Amino acid sequence: MAEQMTVSAAAPQVATPQTRGRAGMSLTRLAWQRFRRHQMALVGGVVLLVIMAISAAAPFLAAEDAANKVNPLNIRSSPSPAHPFGTDDVGRDMLWRTIYGGRISLAIGTLSVLIAMTLGVAIGCLSGFYGGVADAVLMRFTDAVLSIPSLFLLIILTRVFGPTVPAIILVIGLLNWMQVSRIVRANFLSLKERDFVLAARSIGVNDGAIILRHVLPNTLAPVIVAATLGIGHAIILEASASFLGLGVQPPTASWGSTLYRAQEVMVMAPWVAIFPGLMILVTVLCINFLGDGLRDALDPHVRGR
């Protein structure tokens, strides 16, 4: 999937003189070569893969019970070989809570971005391709949502939909699409005037196919970058909501909800606060590096830096 996206994303580069000079190399390989030069992006990608692999493998290593089992005889014990991240105020193992919390946080991050991208791309396509009234209405709506701080909307919407994991994914998805719709719209505005669109139209291709097969693939590069960075944003949003007690409800752990509880015990057990937050930091850091690398690799305009 990622491979295909890269190919189509790099498609507009065919026309640029720089790429023509290096004939014989596939576009994917060109992108990969540029990406590889970005060492921090490589490191970020690898660390992110490791975090995701551990999250995915968690159920095979220990049942979810490991993260939720309380032990009144072993509360607030500091990090030790038996419990490398210590235990919390009811004796749950923080290492397993951090790992299982990561599953929830990463799932919310990626799935909500999937919703946000679908919504943002759809609105951006319609707005940019059709223009006129549709564009005016959709863009004013985008402006309106952008003008309200997302945490305000998050608080209100989680109260409307309830604090379940699917609801949080939906709500964060609904708050994260505006940048993408603007990017896609701007690209559509310029691309729809190009000759290849005229050519497609003149041989009778319908609007839907022009949008999906001809114009959209050319705007995927910035969308992929925005999606990557959007995951980091979504993870922090979820953590903020959970930190206020609005997000994932106990006993399920997410990185943010673990921190919510940590506020009360941080005086006696600071490790409860340290590790989940550190995981958010590392994950978002890796995502940002990866996003920067992808931008350089996929976007022909920033080449040569």
Whether the CB-CB separation of 294 and 35 falls below 8 Å is answered with: yes
Tokens 């990626």 -> residue: 110
b/e map 85-110, b = 16+ CB within 10 Å: bbbbebbbbbbbbbbbbbbbbbebbb
Report if residue 42 touches another protein, rule: CB under 8 A.
Answer: no
Amino acid at 55: S
Among 121, 131, 111, 291, residue whose Cα is nearest residue 218: 121
Strand partners, 93: 87
Report if residue 46 touches another protein, rule: CB under 8 A.
Answer: no
Choices 58-66, 116-124, 217-225, 278-286 (CB under 8 A): range interacting with another protein: 278-286
Q: How far is the CB of 235 from another protein (least distance, A)?
A: 8
Site string for another protein, 160-199 (x = CB under 8 A): x---------------------------------------
Report if residue 36 touches another protein, rule: CB under 8 A.
Answer: no
What is the C-alpha separation between 61 and 259, in angstroms, rounded? 24
Q: Which is nearer to another protein, 6 or 242 (CB)?
A: 242
Whether the CB-CB separation of 12 and 217 falls below 8 Å is answered with: no
Q: How far is the CB of 93 from another protein (least distance, A)?
A: 20
Report if residue 239 touches another protein, rule: CB under 8 A.
Answer: yes
DSSP 212: I
The residue within the footprint of another protein, chosen from 159, 166, 212, 264 (CB under 8 A), is 159
Helix (H, G, I), strand (E, B) or coil at 205: coil
> Per CB under 8 A, which of residues 75..104 are in contact with another protein?
none
Report if residue 148 touches another protein, rule: CB under 8 A.
Answer: yes
Q: Which is nearer to another protein, 218 or 242 (CB)?
A: 242
The residue within the footprint of another protein, chosen from 63, 82, 156, 199 (CB under 8 A), is 156
Report if residue 50 touches another protein, rule: CB under 8 A.
Answer: no
Among 252, 277, 248, 249, residue whose Cα is nearest residue 262: 277
Choices 11-19, 95-103, 150-158, 190-198 (CB under 8 A): range interacting with another protein: 150-158
Q: Which is nearer to another protein, 114 or 244 (CB)?
A: 244
Q: How far is the CB of 21 from another protein (least distance, A)?
A: 26
Whether the CB-CB separation of 225 and 298 falls below 8 Å is answered with: yes
Q: Which is nearer to another protein, 70 or 266 (CB)?
A: 266
Q: Which is nearer to another protein, 10 or 138 (CB)?
A: 138
The residue within the footprint of another protein, chosen from 259, 290, 294, 297 (CB under 8 A), is 259
Who contacts 92 (Cβ-Cβ below 8 Å, separation ≥6)?
Answer: 67, 68, 69, 70, 71
Q: How far is the CB of 232 from another protein (least distance, A)?
A: 7
Angstrom distances, CA of residue 34 to CA of 42, 292, 298: 11, 12, 8
Who contacts 100 (Cβ-Cβ below 8 Å, separation ≥6)?
Answer: 58, 64, 66, 67, 68, 253
The residue within the footprint of another protein, chosen from 27, 43, 153, 167 (CB under 8 A), is 153
The contact set with another protein (CB under 8 A) reads 140-141, 143-149, 151-153, 155-157, 159-160, 232, 236, 239-240, 243-244, 259, 262-263, 266-267, 270, 273-274, 277, 280-281, 284-285, 287-289
